[in-house]
């Protein structure tokens, strides 16, 4: 049912303020924390629009994106209890687009349809390879997320790899949603699936083998 929006008679509402900021390292229950203590990446970079610069240089003029969107791409759902825009859906969208384009790429290459579902094609889009790509491009330390457990250092165990892979997928998703499928397709073919590009996913797989 839809009804016209009504204006409320009285706009007064009671507000409650019980918390106050404090910057002590020790947490005190019931007190609001100083945002600066938790709004930072695991590497210690503050949550700031300036930190997108490395990703911005990587994308260049051709694939330029809005700064706020780039910050969203770099932010995982676990960061700041989801109060900042995060990349969850962008990465799902990007991942599906990547799989779709990679299937088309394989079918149209000389390998043909028989190469679909092969070990190599599955490995190219695996989490580890996508994470290796992000690490190589150097925007891994400005990814904002919260570790499940600080004592785990192995990137496959701590979820670091899947977070990095998610950022790359979210980047594709962001290009797709704001610039359309044409630009995103060009990005995928040029930077990720091309054999000529030195650090494409295909070549990372070959280098690891």
Partner 1 sequence: MPIKPISQIPKFQNGVGAFILNCKRIVLQVDKAGGSSEGLRNFLKLRLNNYATAHSKIEFTVIQKAGHPVVKGEFINGSEKAICVRNLNIDNVENKINLLRESSGETLRKRNNKVESINESVRGVWSPLHTEPSVRHKI
Partner 2 sequence: MNSLIRTSARKSLRQFSTSSIKFNSQQIIASEEQALKSAPLVALHERLNLPSSYKLGTLAQALTCRSSYKQELAHNYGLNILGKNFLTYYVSEHILATYPRLPLPVLNAAVASYISSDSLYAVGKYAWGIESDDTTALSKYLNEEAKEHSLGKLRFLPISQTDEAGVTKLSSRDRKSIHPAAAYALGVRSIIGGLYLSTKSEEVTKKFIQDHILSRKLDISKMFEFEQPTRELSRLCERQNLEKPVARLISETGRKSDKPIFVMGIFSGENKLGESYGSSIREAKIRASVNALKNWYLYKPTTVSVPSDKDYKPSVVDHGIVIV
DSSP 77-101: TTGGGGTS---HHHHHHHHHHHHHH
In the bound complex, what is the minimum distance in angstroms from residue 3's beta carbon to partner 1? 7
Q: Which residue has the tokens 């030195």?
A: 198
In the bound complex, what is the minimum distance in angstroms from residue 2's beta carbon to partner 1? 6
Q: Which two tokens stand for residue 185?
A: 């397709």
Q: Based on the shown chain and the rule CB under 8 A, indicate whether residue 5 belongs to the binding site for partner 1.
A: no
Instruction: Specify burial of residue 117 (Cβ count, 10 A radius: 0-12, 13-18, 19+).
Output: exposed
Of 202, 193, 208, 207, nearest in space to 98 by CA: 193
Alpha carbon separation from 90 to 24, 33, 73, 145 (Å, rounded): 36, 29, 8, 16
Q: Based on the shown chain and the rule CB under 8 A, indicate whether residue 2 belongs to the binding site for partner 1.
A: yes
Q: Which residue has the tokens 């009671």?
A: 14
Among 31, 36, 49, 116, binds partner 2 (CB under 8 A): 116
What residues numbered 39-58 form the site for partner 2, per CB under 8 A?
A: none
Binding partner selected for residue 196 from partner 2, partner 1, none, CB under the kind-specific 5 to 8 Å limit: none
Among 58, 157, 180, 206, binds partner 2 (CB under 8 A): 180
User: What is the contact surface with partner 2 in residues (CB under 8 A)?
Assistant: 1, 3, 5-8, 11, 13, 15, 69, 72, 77, 81-83, 85-90, 92-93, 96-97, 99-100, 103-104, 107-108, 113-114, 116-117, 174, 176-181, 184
């Amino acid at each position: 049912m839809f009804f016209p929006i009504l204006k409320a008679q009285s706009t007064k509402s009671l507000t409650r303020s019980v918390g106050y900021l404090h910057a002590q390292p020790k947490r005190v229950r019931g007190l609001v924390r100083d945002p600066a203590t938790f709004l930072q990446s695991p590497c210690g970079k503050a949550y700031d629009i300036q930190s997108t610069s490395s990703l911005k240089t990587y994308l260049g003029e051709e694939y330029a994106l809005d700064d706020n969107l780039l910050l969203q791409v770099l932010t995982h759902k676990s960061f700041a209890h989801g109060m900042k825009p995060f990349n969850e859906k962008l990465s799902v969208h990007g991942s599906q687009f990547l799989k779709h384009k990679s299937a088309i790429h394989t079918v149209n290459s000389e390998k043909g349809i028989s190469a679909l579902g092969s070990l190599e094609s599955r490995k190219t889009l695996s989490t580890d390879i996508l994470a290796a790509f992000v690490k190589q491009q150097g925007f891994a330390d400005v990814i904002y997320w919260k570790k499940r457990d600080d004592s785990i250092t192995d990137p496959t165990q701590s979820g670091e790899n899947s977070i990095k892979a998610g950022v790359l997928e979210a980047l594709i998703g962001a290009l797709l949603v704001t610039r359309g499928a044409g630009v995103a397709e060009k990005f995928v073919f040029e930077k990720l699936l091309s054999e000529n590009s030195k650090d494409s996913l295909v070549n990372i797989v070959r280098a690891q083998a």
